[in-house]
Structure 1
């Protein structure tokens, strides 16, 4: 197999040598044993992927790194073999050699490892996961079960629940469902044929889909909590919580529709400053519906937590328990398909007016609806134990354009007003915008207003030119590792 050799610039060399080792990056000297290297490979593949550079020395005493690669490609054969042992089909990784333009100091092997569908084990037979800059062995049965669920190899939906079968088979929900879908079959027979029960015990999927009150059987992992925070701060607190959290319960079908309705109702009460003054917030209902549906159907029900919907003055955050499954990442989630809870997704789609009408297209619909309203697309990010989708009330227009649009209708604008308009949290960032527009002679300071009451107006040429504030920086001493 021919491996590409890429000549890198001095800037790229500096970037590699100053790269911070962490959750997505690791650097190794060429002496690293293939067996130890396999731990990093497995950890990246089992978690969120990452980059691995082999051929970088680190002097921990002086806190310096040095480029010292392989003399020739063949010298890396043992290391390359470690990758091919873990990825025999050549999937989930790619690599290349990096060399300096001078040809000195050898070849650094750069490997890009993707999140894999299956569990990868190091040469010692143990799976590892990546946490920060560490490769953590998965030793306990509980940790292995979590990893299996994260990989989509197993699903908590197939576990049985210690409640009588009639908790599901005699519920109002399943009777209504059977009458509208398959009226000839008895509930017990239906549940058995669809593997939604094992003996006289219903599965988690059956309880969630057809139980009238799944929360009685699956407490703290089967409800939706809605919060309203009267702030634009990064995090909500008890002080700015508008009221006690609202808990939405019932079967998943009813939960989804009730949560979307309540979330929409609360959002429609919010007013924010816009170019024309106070305006009611408007999010496309399709976006809220699809993201809440996605959070409920694709969450990890093995994680003891509820779905959380947090409504702020300038955004909505929807948090779904559990990591993204299998090979799905925040980057490929719109193009790749994987269902953690296959039974739940399949059978809720058979309810009248199902919440997941276009299976696999929900998030794409949500993103398209935001674009149609000229709002910024949702942001998807992972925490250690959940997936968060953030829907911002932020127009696609640039902050500079929003400032000028505002000044078309109002005589002046302040730093605080710009932050309310744009969602920008930093006063200094807004100052930079002001100085940039002043430099283009588009705006100027309002005469006589300074300090805390400083304001800006459209350029008239009567005010003195505004010079950006000079900033002084103190170099922070880097801690030695």
Structure 2
């Protein structure tokens, strides 16, 4: 017997305006069961998702409730589910009703399955954004098999009392927005965040008020080094490393807020002298979010954020999973912790709103501020993302821009503007500009006081 839940108007509006995404799809009750299996295959082969059946899309692009007149009318759809999941696992469904709407909609939850699922057309589908994409080439199917072969540490149980997630402030607040409304413990069991009366790693990361009690290395460590050197040292460390703790949701927002506070106090030489350094908040937010939700929680290490005078380094435990590498990371997608990713996306104002687009958002945010693209490196046992405060353009361009609003420039100022560490490298840039008479040396000064000003061929203002 399938449960029927009456939902309020606010939840009806939420479902109808939520929009199709990587984790959510809407279908008409008239959909052919054979076509429906494409969506089931796509969700099962990706990270799981929710499917609402019993809505119609109108010409204005909006969805309206158009439910089944009776539960029996949905029998064809239900039989399709039972044939697709013959042992009755990896899916759940619930009829929804509303006193102002006609009929019943069917809300289905599909989990990521351990095996590959094919549609009734014998093709394998994969969910990407709001699309169900057929996987037909040997390479695509091989990659899927690699992905399915991975066991996620997030499903491991922890030897702790279930109360730390069934009665936490985090789950109580979150449960107020569960559709349909459900008791926390019941919902956690359905999501497999409780197993044999023990919480899983994902359950603790998401809903424990103090997950670091059971996962001591689940913190975000913040460091501030007053240097632009390649490595930070104890001598340049501004304060003892600060640990940002709490569940994933609060940890992400707290870490981003603290990083912003720290970088606001970093001076940088700009066109008009000392200025406050500026990084795009969107880039910091997306990269910190990625580090927390995609890290390998089986590794005995924290997430590390190192703030230097000229860059921010964010290091996440665990190498890039499956087929992901530093070259395809902006175009390919794989969730090491699919439950954490999916359920965090259910929170109000989720930190991972645009699933799969976080790094692309970070890259675009850096470009909008005319800063260089983030650098992504894979180290032994970790992934390192570097946000450099380096302006796009050659050192010569940056020197020209500086001299448009300043009378002179010297080697130290040039290195600060161009983010160049070597005095000799900076000299070579000045020498090229001297040769082309873009600049000239200021006369009658000792070598230790060498400075440069606009030359005969200095470009005119545009």
Once residues 282 and 354 of structure 1 are traced to their aligned partners in structure 2, the CA distance between those partners, rounded to angstroms, is: 25
1:337-383: CA deviation from partner (whole Å, max 9, x where unpaired): 11110000000011111000111011111111111111111111111
Once residues 329 and 445 of structure 2 are traced to their aligned partners in structure 1, the CA distance between those partners, rounded to angstroms, is: 49
Once residues 443 and 208 of structure 2 are traced to their aligned partners in structure 1, the CA distance between those partners, rounded to angstroms, is: 67
Quick check: 1:275–1:402 contact (8 Å CA) kept in 2?
no
Once residues 271 and 455 of structure 1 are traced to their aligned partners in structure 2, the CA distance between those partners, rounded to angstroms, is: 22
1:35-184 alignment runs, 5 A limit:
91=139, 153-182=150-179, 184=181
Distance 1:118 1:397, change over 3 A: same
Show structure 2 runs of 5+ residues with no match: 1-136, 458-462
Match of 1:16 in 2: none
Report deviation, 1:182.
4.3
Report deviation, 1:245.
1.4
Once residues 186 and 425 of structure 2 are traced to their aligned partners in structure 1, the CA distance between those partners, rounded to angstroms, is: 63
Match of 1:430 in 2: 426
Match of 2:335 in 1: 339
Once residues 452 and 341 of structure 1 are traced to their aligned partners in structure 2, the CA distance between those partners, rounded to angstroms, is: 57
1:76-475 alignment runs, 5 A limit:
91=139, 153-182=150-179, 184-220=181-217, 222-459=218-455
Once residues 152 and 244 of structure 1 are traced to their aligned partners in structure 2, the CA distance between those partners, rounded to angstroms, is: 41
Once residues 116 and 348 of structure 1 are traced to their aligned partners in structure 2, the CA distance between those partners, rounded to angstroms, is: 26
**Which secondary structure state, in structure 2, belongs to the residue aligned with residue 319 of structure 1?**
strand
Once residues 401 and 439 of structure 1 are traced to their aligned partners in structure 2, the CA distance between those partners, rounded to angstroms, is: 15
Report deviation, 1:187.
2.0
Show structure 1 runs of 5+ residues with no match: 1-88, 93-114, 120-147, 462-481
Once residues 231 and 117 of structure 1 are traced to their aligned partners in structure 2, the CA distance between those partners, rounded to angstroms, is: 44
Distance 1:168 1:410, change over 3 A: same
**Which secondary structure state, in structure 2, belongs to the residue aligned with residue 303 of structure 1?**
coil
**Which secondary structure state, in structure 2, belongs to the residue aligned with residue 428 of structure 1?**
helix
Distance 1:116 1:183, change over 3 A: closer
Distance 1:116 1:385, change over 3 A: farther
Once residues 118 and 274 of structure 1 are traced to their aligned partners in structure 2, the CA distance between those partners, rounded to angstroms, is: 51
Report deviation, 1:116.
6.4
1:295-321: CA deviation from partner (whole Å, max 9, x where unpaired): 111111111111111111111111111
Report deviation, 1:228.
1.0
**Which secondary structure state, in structure 2, belongs to the residue aligned with residue 239 of structure 1?**
coil
Once residues 229 and 118 of structure 1 are traced to their aligned partners in structure 2, the CA distance between those partners, rounded to angstroms, is: 43
Distance 1:435 1:346, change over 3 A: same
Once residues 445 and 293 of structure 1 are traced to their aligned partners in structure 2, the CA distance between those partners, rounded to angstroms, is: 48
| TM-score of the two chains, using structure 2 as the length reference | 0.66
CA RMSD of aligned residues (A): 2.0
**Which secondary structure state, in structure 2, belongs to the residue aligned with residue 242 of structure 1?**
coil
Once residues 237 and 378 of structure 2 are traced to their aligned partners in structure 1, the CA distance between those partners, rounded to angstroms, is: 24
Quick check: 1:158–1:205 contact (8 Å CA) kept in 2?
yes
Report deviation, 1:459.
2.0
**Which secondary structure state, in structure 2, belongs to the residue aligned with residue 180 of structure 1?**
coil
Once residues 367 and 343 of structure 1 are traced to their aligned partners in structure 2, the CA distance between those partners, rounded to angstroms, is: 26
**Which secondary structure state, in structure 1, belongs to the residue aligned with residue 354 of structure 2?**
coil
| TM-score of the two chains, using structure 1 as the length reference | 0.64
